[in-house]
Structure formats: C-alpha cells, structure tokens
Amino acid sequence: MDFNLILTSFSQVFAPSTLLYTLIGAAGGILIGSIPGLTATMGIALLVPFTYGLDFIPGVAMLLGIFCGGMYGGSIAAILIHTPGTPAAAATVLDGYPMGQKGEPGRALTVSLFSSFCGGIIGALVMTFLSPTISKAALKFGPAEFFALAVFGLSVIVSISGKSIVKGLISACFGLLIGTVGMDKTCAYLRFFKLRGLYDGIPFIPALIGLFAVSEVIANFEHMLKSAPAKKVDDGAMIANPVLRYLRSVIANVCPKKDDLRRIFKHIIKGGLIGTFIGSIPGAGGDIAAFVSYSEAKRSSKRPEEFGKGSPEGIAAAECANNGCSGGAMIPMLALGVPGDSNTAVLMGAFIMHGFQPGPMMYVEHLDIVYSVFGALLTANLAFLIVGMFGVKLFAKVISVQRYFLIPCILILSLVGAYSINQSMFDVYFAIVMGVIGYLLQKYGFSLSPILLALILGPLCESNIRRYMQIVDGRFSLIFTRPICLIFFGLALISLITAVLNHRKIERREAEQRAKEAEQEEKIQE
C-alpha cells in the first residue's frame, strides 16, 4: 500500500470547497433520513444530476455525505416518534424510543450520534485497508450462503420478541406469511391477493411506516381521549444564551457520559465489524446488520433485562452496525463493480457518469481516485458528526411538543412519506391498514419488530433456497457440505440457545425484583 499516494489523495478531499459540499450533503442526508419514507437512496438519486457539473471528488464527497448522514438521520425519527426514518434504523426503535419516553431523548440521540460516527469510521478504515481481501470473500456467497445468512438473521427473532417468545414467534410467522404476497419471483405466479399494488409484494416502506408510525399515532390518540398525562422531558438539554456555555454543551453532545461510554464501548467495536462484514455482502444491508448486532449485544450483555426498555447498549449496537455498512457496501462496488446495496448502486451510476468504471481495474488504473473515495467517506462521517452535534438538543425538543400538535404532524408526515415512494394512494391506504394491525397487535402484547425482520428476510430466504434447490436438483443435504453455510447455521443455533437462556435469566431477575418489592411493602405495612 502506497502511503504517500494515500496522503496525496486525501489532501484533495480536505480542500475547503470539497469539505463544504460534504457538509451540505451530510445536512441534507440527516434531514432526508429523519423523514419517514424518504431514504438516503432517494436523496442520492435526486442529487446525482447536480454533481455532473462538479469535479469528481467534490461531487462524490457530497453524495457520500448524503449516504452517511441519511444512515444516522433514520435514528432521529426512530428515537423521537417511534418510526424508523430508514429501514436500517428499525432496530434502533427497540431501545431508542423507550429511552426517549423515559425523558432522556437527548441522551438517546447522543449515544446514537456517537455510535453512528464510530461505526462509520470503522467501516471506512476497514474499507481503506482490507477492501480487496473482503471483496474476495464476498464473491464466495451464492444462493446457499444467502439462505444460510437469512436463517441466521431469522434466529434473531427470539432476542427481539419482548416479554413473550411465543407471541414474538407468532408475529414473525405473520410477517413471513404476508411476505409471500405478490408475484412469485421464480415462476411468475400471482399469489394471494390480486391487487395491482401488491403485484411486487408487500410495499416495505409503507408497511414500516404503518406498523410503527401510524400505530403509534392511534395509540397516542387513544391516550389523549383518556386524558393521559403527557410525560415530562428533561428540558435541561437546551442551554441558554452565553456563547461559551452553549459551545460547551454542543461539544458534550458528541460523547456520551462515562457510564454509557463504558457500557457501549465493546458493542461499538463489535457492531462496526459486524456491519462492515454484512454490508460487504452484495444484497445484504444495514437493516440485517443492525438486528444481528443488536442480538449479539443482548447475548453478551451483563444486563440483558434492560434491552427493550431504553438500554444504551441496544442503541449503540444497532446504530454502529448500520453505519458500518456504509463502508462495507462500498467494498464490493469499488473492488468488484457489484453494488453492495441500493445506495451504492446509485453511487455506481455517479461513478460511471463521471467516466470511472468501478471494478478491479480501478485499483490498477485509478488508484489515486480510489484512495480519494476512501478519504471522502471518512470526511463524510466527520461531517454528519459536526452537523449532528449542533442539532442533538434541537432534535430532542421535538418530543416536548404538545401531543395535540405533534400527533397530527407525525401522521401527515408519515402518510406523505408512504405516498412519496411510488406516488401511489394505494401505499397510503396500505400504511393505514398496517397501522391498525400494528396497534391491535401491540395492545395485546405482540412485538412489531419480528414482523419487520420477517418481511426483510422472508423473501430473501425463499428466493435463495428455491434457486439453490434448482441448482442441486432438489438435493437439500448438499447445503451442509458448504463451509460458510455451516458457520451461519452454527451461529443461528448459538443465537437461539443464548436468546432462550437470556430470556430465562431476565424472567428470574424480574421475579426476584418482584419478591423484593413485595417484602418491602410488607415491612412498610408492619
């Protein structure tokens, strides 16, 4: 590796004009990512034509700013309004929203910002130094390996099932069932409902918006009718006029408190590496990486009973992994010419538009450009950190808005987001239907996250196992001769066993806590 060339290439990225474009991209990405239904992919696609008049490095730096900013921005909506701004932030809802409801939205956003930045930096560094090696490993993934990865992802369902594993599994089965709706990808047979809007399957973003945003609106509306008191939020977040005091508070937004930092540190390292690895597999994305990292964090945590109730470890694991995917997804695009996800597919179009064909020859003919892209990704993560640290306290104030103002705004914003995907009213109606279903499921103790994970992984699992069975002429047993498949199956088994053991540990601790409280009440009465 030519370190002199790396330094020369990085110097282009740190030019004032390039840094300005990166900051603009990061701010736009955070804004787009925080609005349910508007994804980073959409933001990149909209701005690709505008980069045509720019030099290659500033143009790509702005697009990478949108990419990284959008990945972090999704956590803002997840924490504040119980709606993942992007699919990759779905796991952040599990602990981010409960922490916000406990009156600590600023703390949740700070942990999310710091973890997102660390995950992005880990992904960018791994991409810089190990991209050719990792890309070779990614080439070994075929239908069998993708099926095994999906099975491993589905094993996470037990960890995110909430208080009842049985209800969590029922939710997952419901998600798998509705995931089969639409045109069969193998034989083009239309399954179940013959509605035009469902020909391509369940519209994922409207389903996500309905399950989390619309259901939450319905639940809050019910609380308003019952005159439930609004929860108080710590307003100490907004520091008044003195400039030095304000700047001190801005800097404090970047780094979590010592206790939180001590708890999340190991999960940040693991989450960043998990996200980078899964992101480097073409077709896998930040949503899968976030759930896998969350499950691993819960498995290895000393306080698994706090997960789902506002644990900083859960937020850190999810956010670090989905932002680590940004670097991971760039690896197959640059090294192989194969986009790792939808974001890098659009970025690849920008490369081609500027006259550069991603692939192995990029490392031979345009190595300086490759290193400049590495540097641009690092600065993109730094840019969203800067924008985010000035916005954390402002974002946190959203939750303190009166319900009768906030709820209609959330509903309108969510439905507009559902409509914006395909400009279809069918998606709006579908989001409302899923919202009613989500509200009823939550009311009776069913977790919504297993439905979402099943919707993500179900089609991936089905399509790849059918492809594999066609390749091997129906001999399923051959899958156990593939080393990568055996690794994923082993990890799935370990995940299931540890999740069940963790669940029993949590039940035991809760029973002990109830017994202590009962004893204290008896002593008080005596």
Residue 3 binned pLDDT confidence (cut-offs 50, 70, 90): low
pLDDT at 234 over 50: no
- List Cβ neighbours of 515 (8 Å cut-off, separation of 6 or more): none
pLDDT: is 526 or 484 the higher one?
A: 484
pLDDT at 240 over 50: no
- pLDDT value of residue 233: 46
pTM for this predicted structure: 0.78
Residue 241 binned pLDDT confidence (cut-offs 50, 70, 90): very low
pLDDT at 188 over 80: no
Amino acid at 498: T
pLDDT in tens, 105-163: 888 888 888 888 999 899 888 887 777 777 677 677 888 888 888 888 888 887 777 67
Mean pLDDT of the chain: 80
> Alpha carbon of 487 to those of 346, 457, 491, 521: distances in Å?
32, 18, 6, 51
- The rounded distance, in Å, linking the Cα atoms of 216 and 206 is 14
E strand intervals along 379-508: none
CB count, 10 Å around CB of 407? Answer: 20
pLDDT in tens, 340-389: 777 888 888 888 887 888 877 777 777 788 888 888 888 998 888 888 88
- pLDDT value of residue 244: 46
Amino acid at 411: L
- pLDDT value of residue 436: 92
pLDDT at 311 over 50: yes
Beta partners for 182?
A: 191
pLDDT: is 230 or 334 the higher one?
A: 334
Percent over 70 (pLDDT), the chain: 90
- pLDDT value of residue 227: 57
Lowest-confidence region among 2-6, 350-354, 514-518: 2-6
pLDDT in tens, 37-69: 677 777 787 787 777 778 888 888 898 898 888
Mean pLDDT of 168-179: 88
- The rounded distance, in Å, linking the Cα atoms of 169 and 180 is 17
- pLDDT value of residue 252: 56
pLDDT at 515 over 60: yes
- pLDDT value of residue 195: 77
pLDDT: is 87 or 397 the higher one?
A: 87
Q: Report the helix count and the strand count for the chain, using DSSP H and E.
A: 21, 2
* Residue among 171, 149, 105, 107 at smallest CA distance from 406: 105
> Alpha carbon of 18 to those of 9, 11, 58, 242, 373: distances in Å?
13, 10, 5, 32, 12
Mean pLDDT of 164-170: 84
Q: What is the 3-state secondary structure (H, E, C) of 150-196?
A: HHHHHHHHHCCCCCCHHHHHHHHHHHHHHCCCEECCCCCCEECCCCH
